[in-house]
Amino acid sequence: MATKREYTTEDSSSSAKRPKMENGNGKLDAANNPYLAHWNDDKSNTANGLYDFKRHATTTKQASAAEDGPLNPFTGRSLSNRYMGILKQRRDLPVHKQRDEFLKLYQESQILVFVGETGSGKTTQIPQFVLFDDMPHKSAQMVACTQPRRVAAMSVAQRVAEEMDVELGEEVGYSIRFEDKTGPNTMLKYMTDGMLLREAMHDNNLTRYSTIILDEAHERTLATDILMGLLKEVVLRRKDLKLIIMSATLDATKFQKYFHNAPLLAVPGRTHPVEIFYTPAPERDYVEAALRTVLQIHATEDEGDILLFLTGEEEIEDACRKISLEAQDLVREDAAGPLVVYPLYGTLPPAQQQKIFSPAPPPTRPGGRPGRKCIVSTNIAETSLTIDGIVYVVDPGFSKQKVYNPRIRVESLLVSPISKASAQQRAGRAGRTRPGKCFRLYTESAFKKELIEQTYPEVLRSNLASTVLELKKLGVEDLVHFDLMDPPAPETLMRALEELNYLACLDDEGELTTLGSLASQFPLDPALAVMLIVSPEFYCSNEILSLTALLSVPQVFVRPASNRKRADEMKDLFAHPDGDHLTMLNVYHAFKSEEAQANPKQWCHDHFLSYRALQQADNVRLQLKRIMEREELELMSTSFENKKYYENIRRALVAGFFMQVAKRDGNGKAYMTVKDEQNVLLHPSTVLGQDSEWVVYNEFVLTTKNYIRTVTSVKPEWLLDIAPNYYDVAAFKKGEIKTALQRVATKIQRKEQEKGKR
Amino acid sequence: MGLAAPKNRSKISNDPQNTTWANNTERFGHKILTSQGWTPGASLGATDAAHKAHYTAASQSHIRVFLKDDNLGLGAKRGSERAENFGLAGFASILGRLNGKEEEVKKEEERQEKIQQRAYVYQKFGMMNFVSGGYLVGDKIEKGVKKEIEPESSDNEVTEKKSKKRKRSGEEEVKKGDEEEPKLKRKKKSVSLREEAAKVDAALKATTKSKKDKKAKSASETPAIDSEPLSDKARRKAEKRARKEEKKLKKALKKAAKEAAKSNPTTEDPSSESSDEEESTSANSVPTTGTSTPSGLTYNPRGMHAVRQRYIRQKKMASMDPQALKEIFMIKTPS
C-alpha cells in the first residue's frame, strides 16, 4: 500500500521521486521512508488544518482553504496541477453555491433530504462535502454512497478519485457485486444499493459507516426502498449515524414525510427550457409516427442530436434500420445532412453502448448541412445514462415495465404507458446543453388523463420471494408492519411467504430455517438457490451449478432475423430430447470443450450462440462456486456413462422448480399449470417434442397467448416424491390434474405394497 | 373492430384471476399475515405512517396492465378515427344543440374540422403534425412562458418546420418579416403539391438561402421568447399587416401554381432534362431546371416508396402528354 502511494505521486512532482532514490541508497530517513508513510499522515494533516477541524462544526471557508492545498488534506501529498484544474470546475457547479447551507443542515439534523436536478453535481460533490465535515477516517469509519447501477458506482468513484487527487481503491473506492475495489484507507465508498443491503445482513447496524448517502432515491429500486425502511430503524438505534437521501425529482415531500419531516435542501440544476410539442390527435401507429418525426426533425430542425425512446430490443433494431435507410435517401436527395443511428438497450455489449458517445458525423462536404446522430433507446437513457448534445427528444409514451401478478405468479415485462414524471424526465433530456424540444407522440389531454403521476416503484411490481428472504435475514420479524415507503400488495407478500414455505426456507411459524438462511447467501432467486443447495443430494451439483449460472444470464441462443433457419439447425446440434434445460447444459459443456475454447468467439458465432452471455455465465458460475465452497456444499457429478446422468439433473430441477410445473391438457398442444390452472402453450423455441405429459418451466411469458419457455419433461412420480408438501393430492382442486396425480399416487402405493410382499 | 378485424382466438382459463387461491384463507401466507396483525382489506406498512396519504392503489392490489399487442399510439382507440362513419359525431352535435349548447357544439365542430383539414394536409405530405404544449422548466411545464410568445404561438399552433423551409420561394423570403412568418407557414400549408413543384427552380436557390434564413429566424425567434410581450395593440396591428401580406402572397402563389401546372409534366419527365434541352422537344419546359430531382428539397417520409411513386406518377404524366407520347413511340410528325 505504501509503495503504491509513492507511485501515485510520481507524476505530481519531481521531488516525490527523491525519497525513493535515497531509500535505494540506504539512507533511511523516517520522514521520507515510504514504508513509514503512515507516520506522516498526522503531521501533514496538522499542516493542512484538517487536524484542527472540529467534527460537525466546520465551515465552507475552512474546507475551501483545505481544498486549496498545497498538500492534499487527506493524504498529505502535494496536489497535482490537474487537481487544481478540476477544482476550478467543481466550484462552478450549482451545489457549490449552497455548500454553507448544506453543511448547516447536515450538522443540525440526522436525516437530510437533498434534491438536486441532473447536472447539479450532487453525486460527486456532496460526498466530498461530507468528508470534510464528517472526517470518517478519524474514527476509522467510512462514508457510503449508494447507486442503483453498477456502472454508475464504478464511473462515479473513478471521477471522485480524480477530483480528490487520490488513487481509486485507496481513499476512494467502490464495491459492486463480484467486485470490491476498496482498501484499508478507504473513507468514501461508492457502492450499489444491493451491496449495502448485503452488508446490512451481516452487520445489522452498519457500524462501519458514519454517514450513508442514498443517491438516486427517486428511482425507487427494490434495494433502495428496503434500505430506506431499514435505515429508518437504524438511525433510531444509532444516533451518531447520519443519513442523506438524494433525489432528482422536485417532489420530495413524500421523502420528507417518510423520514419524520426531515429538512429539505433543493439545488437547481443546470438545465435549459425545453419546448414540449404534442400531436393534435392520437397516433394510429406510434412506431411509424416516431420514425417520421425523427426524419422530419432531421430534415428541418437546426443542428442537435436526437433521442428516441422505444420499448424493446427488437423494436429498436428495426427502427434503427429503417431510419438509416430513409436518412440515406434524404442525403442522396441532398435534403439533409448525414445521420448516424445508434441503438441503446441493456443487453447491448458495452463496446457498442459506448458508441453512443461518439460525436455526430461531420457534413458530407465542407459547408454542407451538419451531420446529426440519433440514439434509439429503451428507458435506460431516461435516467441512468446522460448523453450530452441531445437537443430533440421523441417520446411515444411507452416503455417496457415489469409487473407481477401474485395470483398467477407471473412476473413479466410488458409494454405500458409511462408516467407523467417519466415523461418529464424524458423531455428534460433535451435541455442538457441548450434549449431543446420534446416531441410527444400523444395529445396533451392523453398526457393529462391517461398517464399516472409517478412510476410505480419496483417493490410494487416484483416477486418478493427473495426480498422476504433478505428481510428475514436482516432480522425483520414483523413483515406486515415493516415501514416501507410504498407497502406492497398483501397478496404479493402472501405469495412470497408461501413460496418460501414450500421451498422450506421458512418453517410453518414463518421463521427462517437453516436452508433459508443458506439460500439467502446466494444472490439468486430462492428457487434457484434451493435447487443449487439440494443438488448434492442428486449427485449432480456441478451440472446444476452450470445450469443455475446459465439461467441467470440473458438468452444464450442467438436467432437473427436474417438467418433463422441456420440458427435453428445449429441449435438442433445441441438439442436434448428431454428439454431445454439439458440443451443449455449441452451448450455450456460444448463451450467449455477444448475445441471451442481455442477460439471461443468464432465458435459462438458459428453456432449462433451469444459469446457474451456464455462468458457471463462462466463468470457467474465461478462466483457461485466460491460461495458453495465457502458454505461447504459438495461439488460432484454423476459419471456420464451412468444412464441416470440426465435423470438426476432433471430430478434436481424438480427440487427447485416444483412450483413451476405444467401438465398437458388432454392430447392437444395446450398445457395447464399446476395449482394456478392457467392455460399455456409451449414456447415455439423449445426443443421438446410433444410427447411429454409433465414439464417444468423456467419462465411464464405473457403475450396474447401465454407461453412457457425453457421447459424440460419430468415424471409425475418425482413430483410426489420430491415435493410432497406441494403435491398434497388431497388439497388439489377437483379436476384433471388431481385425478392424474391420484392415479400416480395409487400406482406408487401398489408398487410399494408389491415390494413389501416380496 | 367490426367483422373485418383480424380474428384472434385465445382460450381463456376457467379461472384467469385464480380466485381459488385468492379466496382461500387457509393458506400459509394468509395465516402468517393475520397472525402479525393484518386484517383482510387493510394495506401493509407501518401503522399511522406519516406518509400514508401517498400510498397508491398498487399497495392494495397488484398492478394491472392491459396487454398491448399492437402499435396503437397512446390515447388512440381502434376504429376511433372513423367515428364519423357511424354518424356518431353528428348525432352528438344534434343532442348538444337540443340541450341548448349551441355555442359549444359549434366550437367543437370547428375544432374537429380544423384538425381534419390539417390532418389531410399532413397526411398528404407524410409529415408529423405537432402542437406546442408549453415549456418544461425544471420539473414543471410552464404555460406562462408560452403565453409570452402568444402572438407567435397562437397561429403557430401548427409547428411545421418542414413546409416552412421547403416551400419558401425567394420572393416570399424577401417580403416576410418576423411576425408574419407564422402566418405564412399556415398559408403555405394549404398550397398544393403542384405549386410547390412549380417553385422548383426558385427552391434551389432557396436551399442555401433558407438555411441561412432559418438560422436568422431562430435567432430572431429566441429573443422574441425572452422579450416582453408586445402590447396588444401593436400585436393586432402586426397581425393585420401580416394578413394583408398573406393575401398578396396567396395570389402570387396561385399565379405561380397555374404556371406550374403547365410546366410541371415536363420537369418531371423521366427523360433527363439535358437531353430534353438538346433536342428541344419540350417547348414549354422551364429552360434550366438546374436540379435533376425536382423534390430535392422536399422531405419524403416514405423514402424508397415515394421514389417509386414518383416514377409511377411520371409515367402516368408521360402517357397523358402528347408530346411525350410522340417521343416514346418515336413518331416523327411536326407538331
- Residues B205 and B194: their CA atoms lie apart, in Å, by 19
What pLDDT score was predicted for residue B91? 76
Of A468 and A47, the one with more pLDDT: A468
> Is A503 within 8 Å of A655 (Cβ atoms)?
no
Alpha carbons A414 and B127: distance in angstroms, whole number = 30
CB contact under 8 A, A281 and B126: no
Can you tell me whether residue A409 is helix, strand or coil? coil
Residue reference for cell 393585420: B240
Q: Average of pLDDT values for A494-514?
A: 93
Rounded alpha-carbon distances, angstroms, from residue A629 to A71, A522, A530, B298: 46, 12, 16, 68
Do B72 and A286 lie within an 8 Å CB cutoff?
A: yes
The cell numbers describing A475, all together, are: 432480522
Distance from CA of B128 to the nearest CA of A (A): 6
Contact A296 B8 (CB under 8 A): no
Tell me which chain A residue has its CA closest to the CA of residue B305. A326
Give the pLDDT score at B229: 44
Query: Chunked in runs of 10, what are the mean pLDDT values of chain B (335 residues)?
Result: 63 79 88 90 83 84 84 76 61 81 83 73 69 76 48 36 40 38 39 42 44 44 41 64 71 64 44 37 34 36 61 75 74 61
**Does A285 reach chain B within 8 Å, measured CB to CB?**
yes
With beta carbons under 8 A apart, name residues in chain B contacting A288.
71
In this structure, how many other beta carbons lie within 10 angstroms of the beta carbon of residue A358? 10
**Residue in A284, A406, A484 closest to B62 by CB:** A406
**Which residues, at least 6 apart from B180, have a Cβ–Cβ distance to it below 8 Å?**
B238, B241, B242, B245, B246
pLDDT digits (tens, 9 = 90+) for A361-401: 888 777 778 889 999 999 888 876 778 889 999 999 999 99
CA distance A754 to A658: 28
B132 forms beta bridges with: A277
pLDDT-derived band at A346, boundaries 50, 70, 90: confident
pLDDT over 90 for what percent of chain A? 49
In chain B, residues with a C-beta closer than 8 Å to the C-beta of A440 are 133
Give the distance from residue A540's alpha carbon to the nearest chain B alpha carbon, in angstroms.
32
Contact residues on chain B for A675, CB-CB shorter than 8 A? 21
Comparing C-alpha atoms, which of A507, A467, A523 is closest to residue A515? A507
Question: Measured on CA atoms in the order B132, B138, B144, B147, is the torsion positive or negative?
Answer: negative
Nearest-CA residue of chain A relative to B11? A679
Residues A714 and A697: their CA atoms lie apart, in Å, by 10
Tell me, what's the pLDDT at A74?
84
Question: Between helices A193-202 and A465-473, what is the axis angle to 10°?
Answer: 40
- Return the percent helix, strand and coil in chain A, to nearest 5: 50, 15, 35
Tens digit of pLDDT for each residue in B113-153?
777 776 666 666 667 778 888 887 766 666 654 433 333 33
How far, CA to CA in Å, does B155 sit from each of A102, A111, B149, B159? 47, 51, 11, 9
Name the minimum distance, in Å, from the CA of B333 to any CA of chain A.
37
Task: Give the relative orientation of helices A122-134 and A60-68 as an angle to the nearest 10 degrees.
Answer: 100
A441 interfaces chain B, CB cutoff of 8 Å? yes
Task: Confirm if B301 and A288 have CB atoms less than 8 A apart.
Answer: no
Please give the model's pTM, rounded to 2 decimal places: 0.74
Q: Is the pLDDT of residue A660 over 70?
A: yes
Neighbours of B153 (CB within 10 A): 19
Q: Is A119 on the interface with B (CB under 8 A)?
A: no
User: In sequence order, what are the beta bridge partners of A246?
Assistant: A114
Cα–Cα nearest to B151, from B186, B183, B173: B183
Higher pLDDT, A19 or B10: B10
Does A92 lie at the interface with B, CB-CB under 8 angstroms? no
Q: Using alpha carbons only, what angle is made at residue A581 by residues A579 and A584, rounded to the nearest 5 degrees? A: 110
CB contact under 8 A, A277 and B13: no
Q: Which pLDDT value is given to residue B282?
A: 35
> Do the beta carbons of residue A559 and residue A568 sit within 8 Å?
yes
Minimum distance, in Å, between the CA of residue A86 and any CA atom of chain B: 27
Mutation site for B-interface testing, chosen from A407, A502, A503 by largest number of B Cβ within 10 Å: A407
Banded model confidence at residue A147, pLDDT cuts 50, 70, 90: very high
Cell 410504498 -> residue: A486
Other C-beta atoms within 10 Å of B223: how many? Answer: 9
| Among the listed residues A519, A493, A492, A497, the one whose alpha carbon sits nearest the alpha carbon of residue A508 | A497
- Answer whether A249's CB lies under 8 Å from B139's CB: yes
CB pairs under 8 A between A and B: 308
Average pLDDT over residues A584-588: 94
Distance CA A710, CA A554 (A): 13
Query: Are A490 and B35 a contacting pair at CB < 8 A?
Result: no
Chain B residues inside the 8 Å CB shell of A403: 62-65
Q: Could you give the C-alpha distances from B50 to A484, B54, B65, in angstroms and in order? A: 12, 9, 29
Residue A597 has pLDDT above 50, yes or no: yes
Give the pLDDT score at B227.
40
DSSP code at position A536: G
DSSP3 helix / strand / coil % (chain B, rounded to 5): 60, 5, 40
CA distance to A315, A395, B138, B277, per residue, from A386 (Å): 22, 16, 16, 55
Question: Helix (H, G, I), strand (E, B), or coil: what is residue B15?
Answer: coil
Q: Which residues of A touch B293 (CB under 8 A)?
A: 333-334
Kindly report whether the peptide bond that precedes residue A70 is cis, defined as omega within 30 degrees of 0.
yes
* DSSP annotation of A468: H
Whole-number pLDDT of residue B162: 39
Lowest mean pLDDT among A318-332, A482-496, B79-93: B79-93
CA distance B311 to chain A (A): 15
Question: Of A317, A345, A350, which Cα lies nearest the Cα of A615?
Answer: A350
pLDDT, tens only, A719-746: 999 999 999 988 888 888 999 999 999 9
Q: What is the pLDDT of residue A151?
A: 80
Question: Minimal Cα distance from A510: which residue of B?
Answer: B32
The shortest CB-CB distance from B293 to any of A333, A454, A733 is to: A333
Residue of B7, B74, B196 to mutate, interface with A, max A Cβ within 10 Å: B74
Å between A189 CA and nearest CA of chain B: 30
Per the CB < 8 Å rule, is A404 touching B296?
A: no
Say if the Cβ atoms of B304 and A329 lie within 8 Å.
Answer: yes
A436-457 per-position pLDDT tens digit: 999 999 999 999 998 998 889 9
Q: CA of A244, closest CA in chain B: separation in Å?
A: 18
Cβ within 8 Å, pair B58-A702: no
List helix spans (H) across A333-379. 350-354
- The DSSP result for B297-309, as a single string, is TS--TTTHHHHHH
From the list B50, B134, B139, the residue facing A276 with the nearest CB is B134
* pLDDT for residue B283: 34
DSSP-based three-state secondary structure for A61: helix
pLDDT: is B288 or A76 the higher one? A76
**CA-CA distance, A441 to A396, in Å (whole number)?**
5
Task: Tell me if residue B213 falls in helix, strand or coil.
Answer: helix
Band the pLDDT of A63: cuts 50, 70, 90: confident
Show residues of chain B in contact with A483, CB under 8 Å.
Answer: 45-46, 49
Distance from CA of A728 to the nearest CA of B (A): 13
When scoring A445, A491, A708 by the number of chain B Cβ atoms within 10 A, the one with the most, hence best to mutate, is A491
The answer to whether A323 and A339 have CB atoms below 8 angstroms apart is yes
Residue B305 pLDDT: 59
- For A705, name the nearest residue in chain B, comparing CA atoms only: B10
Largest CA distance in chain B: 105
> Given this model, what pLDDT does residue B60 score?
87
Alpha carbon distance A669, A690 (integer Å) = 7
- Which residue type sits at A455? T
Please indicate whether residue B49 or residue A491 has the higher confidence score (pLDDT).
Answer: A491
Answer yes or no: is pLDDT of A426 > 70.
yes
* B298 chain-A contacts, CB cut-off 8 A: 335
Record: contact A431-B47, CB cut-off 8 A:
no
pLDDT digits (tens, 9 = 90+) for A615-651: 989 999 999 999 999 999 999 888 888 889 999 999 9
Contacts of B309 in chain A (CB under 8 A): none
For A315, the grid coordinates are: 423494436
Place of cell 400549408: B189
Residues 603-642 of A with CB under 8 A from B: none
C-beta atoms of A439 and B130 within 8 A: yes
**Average pLDDT over chain A, rounded to an integer:** 86
* Most A-contacting residue of B27, B62, B298 (CB-CB within 10 A), to test interface: B62
Q: What is the structure's pLDDT at B139? A: 64
**Which of A259, A279, A294 has the most B C-beta neighbours within 10 Å, making it the best mutation to test the interface with B?**
A279
Cβ separation A415–B68 shorter than 8 A:
yes
Closest CA to B180 of B249, B117, B270, B267: B249
The closest of A752, A276, A654, A576 to B145, measured between CA atoms, is A276
Look at B215 and A302 and tell me if their CB atoms are within 8 Å. yes
Distance from CA of B155 to the nearest CA of A (A): 14
Distance, in Å, from the CA atom of A103 to the CA atom of A63, rounded to the nearest integer, reads 11
